[in-house]
């Protein structure tokens, strides 16, 4: 689960990370009714799960109440990369002396946390990483509840960060690592981590991605997700223990698969052929025909989707159950075209069932063949 910026700031404050206090508003009326004292100038930040907010006009400054309301009206309801801004985060403006980047992320292959630090940060961090990779310090960590001081010293030495910030930097790294470990994060990021004109480190913006499988340990975050669901289809999918992932507010392809690796492989190949995926749904393991029927219904309910790529490598998930679910759903998916790749347990039984199903169905012999069929746009 990706937390919005204002929720990430709440976690930062909870763990004692230095960051500006603020409040969130979902309407102009909420901005107008906010009656606590405000220390101007303020910054208003659009709360959307995408980058490039500042360049799109989603970050504005206000030096008085009139500007606060005016800028709020500009931001609320605007679209940034196809996403509508429904909330704005208002916080104090920070006079910046230096921007840096700090994060902890999970290396799935090594099953270890990785500390990433760069003395340059902000909106151009991806460009910096691409053009000047030597400026990025990466340190793989052994599993543990805390990060050792000597590792933080090593990062400072390698990056050339001034020793005058040694204590405050150590404090920020340790507290962000605590967030990463204790909140079961896939990513805990501060970008930018700034040094203000007073020489103090401040977490100006943050990203927190929490492992969905660990939400049972975090009731407050789980309840927050249920209360602020950004798509009805994600909530509907969760009723069946599916993971529905909105990808883009564009494209016409929906993916149904069993496992994040399969989904990512499908998306990568589809993107390379110049096509766009609107959404994806992870079945998990052991999907029955009834659950497949529901999965197809959910994905087909996305108004952008007219083609569904079902990519299944069956183990616990049996191919004949997949096929039976397709047959049961075929009359309720609005005529969506299906491209189906089945491999694994009971494959032949599954193929035999699908041979008798009337509908716009194309069978693929493998992942690449399935993407080829999608690109051709014709029935195989």
* Residues involved in catalysis: 101, 189
End-to-end CA distance of the chain: 37
Cα–Cα distance for residue pair 370/310, rounded to 1 Å: 9
- Maximum distance among all alpha carbons in the chain? 73
Cα–Cα distance for residue pair 135/156, rounded to 1 Å: 12
The per-type count for the chain, helices as H runs and strands as E runs, is 13, 19
Closest to 48 in 3D by CA, of 232, 243, 207, 270: 207
Pairing status of strand 96-107 against strand 136-141: unpaired
Q: What are the angstrom distances between the C-alpha of 5 and each of 9, 57, 233, 268? A: 6, 17, 23, 27
**Residue 5 three-state SS:** helix
Look-up of token digits 């805390």: 146
Cα–Cα distance for residue pair 144/180, rounded to 1 Å: 11
Cα–Cα distance for residue pair 197/137, rounded to 1 Å: 25
**How many Cα atoms are found within 13 Å in the side-chain-facing hemisphere of 5?**
30
Kindly state the tokens that stand for 80: 């940034």
2 DSSP assignment:
E
Kindly state the tokens that stand for 336: 């969506």
Look-up of token digits 């959910």: 298
Contact 209, 1 (CB under 8 A): yes
Task: Dump the DSSP string for 13-72.
Answer: HHTT-----EEEESSHHHHHH--S---SSEEEEE--SSS-TTTTT-EEEESSHHHHHHHH
Kindly state the tokens that stand for 226: 């249920």
């Amino acid at each position: 689960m990706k937390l919005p910026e204002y929720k990430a700031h709440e976690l930062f404050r909870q763990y004692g990370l230095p960051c500006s206090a603020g409040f969130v508003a979902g309407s102009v009326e909420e901005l107008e009714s906010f009656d606590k004292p405000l220390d101007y100038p303020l910054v208003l930040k659009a709360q959307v799960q995408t980058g490039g907010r500042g360049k799109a006009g989603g970050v504005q400054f206000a030096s008085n109440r009139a500007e606060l309301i005016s800028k709020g009206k500009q931001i609320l309801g605007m679209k940034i990369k196809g996403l509508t801004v429904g909330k704005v985060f208002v916080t104090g403006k920070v006079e910046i002396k230096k921007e840096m980047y700090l994060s902890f992320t999970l290396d799935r292959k090594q099953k270890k946390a990785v500390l990433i630090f760069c003395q340059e940060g902000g909106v151009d961090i991806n460009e910096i990483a691409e053009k000047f990779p030597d400026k990025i310090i990466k340190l793989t960590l052994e599993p543990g509840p805390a990060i050792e001081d000597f590792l933080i010293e090593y990062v400072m030495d390698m990056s050339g960060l001034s020793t005058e910030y040694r204590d405050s930097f150590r404090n920020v790294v340790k507290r962000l690592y605590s967030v990463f470990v204790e909140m079961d994060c896939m990513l805990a990021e501060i970008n930018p981590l700034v040094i203000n004109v007073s020489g103090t480190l401040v977490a100006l913006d943050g990203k927190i991605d929490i492992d969905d499988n660990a939400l049972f340990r975090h009731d407050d975050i789980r309840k927050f997700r249920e209360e602020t669901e950004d798509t009805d289809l994600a909530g509907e999918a969760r009723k069946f223990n599916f993971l529905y992932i909105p990808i883009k507010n564009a494209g016409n392809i929906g993916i149904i698969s069993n496992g994040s690796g399969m989904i990512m492989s499908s998306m990568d190949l589809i993107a390379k052929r110049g096509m766009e995926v609107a959404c994806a749904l992870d079945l998990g393991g052991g999907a029955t025909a009834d659950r497949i029927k529901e999965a197809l219904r959910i994905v087909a309910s996305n108004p952008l989707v007219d083609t569904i790529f079902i990519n299944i490598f069956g183990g616990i998930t049996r191919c004949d159950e997949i096929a039976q679910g397709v047959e049961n759903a075929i009359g309720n998916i609005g005529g969506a075209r299906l491209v189906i790749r089945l491999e694994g347990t009971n494959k032949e039984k599954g193929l035999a069932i699908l041979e008798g199903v009337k509908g716009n169905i194309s069978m693929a012999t493998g992942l690449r063949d399935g993407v080829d069929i999608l690109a051709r746009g014709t029935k195989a």
